[in-house]
Amino acid sequence: MSNKIPTPHNAAKYGQIAKTVLMAGDPLRAQFMAEKYLENPVQYNNVRGMLGFTGTCKGKQISIQGHGMGIPSIGIYTYELFNFYEVERIIRVGSAGALQPDMKIGDIVIGLGACTNSNYANQYNLGGTFAPIADFELTEKAVQEAEKLGLRYKVGNLYSSDTFYDDDQNSLSRWQKMGVLAIEMEAAALYMNAARAGKKALTLCTISDCPFTGEATSVEQRQTGFTNMMEVAVGIVEVMNNE
């Protein structure tokens, strides 16, 4: 147990957060998930509006928390969960922009790896390029859950960008050429924090927009409409809890 809790970003006391945490960038999506999937959810955090809840799902304890936008934000929250609250696995449920032409709004991306333009890995002084990847067990179970539910999904690389508004108008087409499936802003830091802490992580994303076509979902759809992805995440936890 860490002596650094509660932290400047999380009001939870030790033991209030489950070993498995589902995380969403939007804290209102986290709240929606907690109300929809958890039995008797209890809010443990509202510092900076980053809501966190713990409850049970089929008798097993689960936590659901927001992580904010971008690598610096998820870097803080997941570092604290892994290292201060002794969380063992984090599954991020987020939105992403499609980079491949055969991907449609609502498709699910299971992030096997995460490319990035961030310098987050520089802190490790590796002397090379680190390849952030998901935990295989969580990835395998995500595929099984998506298959069981009959969902459209792809497994592959995400692009975790530090910039939402990129001055280089051609950058996405270059990532597209490398077979990267979708752009989001957090998976790389999550995977690096998990690797450094010896923990497990996975990112699931629902395609919310298509940058090359201009298609996009509404704010409300992004908060409460991506239930297929949520069902996959909750299904993973249920399977693992029953093993």
Nearest to 57 by CA among 102, 12, 21: 21
Q: What is the pLDDT of residues 72-84, one digit of tens each?
A: 999 999 999 999 9
Q: What is the pLDDT of residues 168-214, one digit of tens each?
A: 989 999 999 999 999 999 999 999 999 999 999 999 999 999 999 99
Q: Is 209 a catalytic residue?
A: yes
The domains located in the chain, with CATH, are 20-242 (3.40.50.1580)
Alpha carbon distances (Å) from 145 to 33, 82, 158, 201, 229 = 18, 25, 20, 16, 10
Q: What is the pLDDT of residues 105-164, one digit of tens each?
A: 999 999 999 999 999 999 999 999 999 999 999 999 999 999 999 999 999 999 999 999
Residues whose CB is less than 8 angstroms from the CB of residue 118 and which lie 6 or more positions away in sequence, other chains included: 71, 160, 161, 162, 188, 189
Indicate the pLDDT class of residue 8, thresholds 50, 70 and 90.
very high
Alpha carbon distances (Å) from 68 to 35, 74, 94, 209, 242 = 19, 6, 11, 19, 31
Residue 107: the pLDDT is 97
Decide: residue 218, CB within 10 A, 0-12 exposed, 13-18 middle, 19+ buried: exposed
| Contact predicate 22/63, CB 8 Å | yes
Half-sphere exposure of 131 (CA within 13 A, CB side): 6
User: How many CB atoms are located within 10 Å of the residue 36 CB?
Assistant: 14
Of all residues in the chain, the percent with pLDDT exceeding 70 is 98
Residue 178: the pLDDT is 98
Residue 10: the pLDDT is 96
Residue 225: the pLDDT is 80
Residue 2: the pLDDT is 57
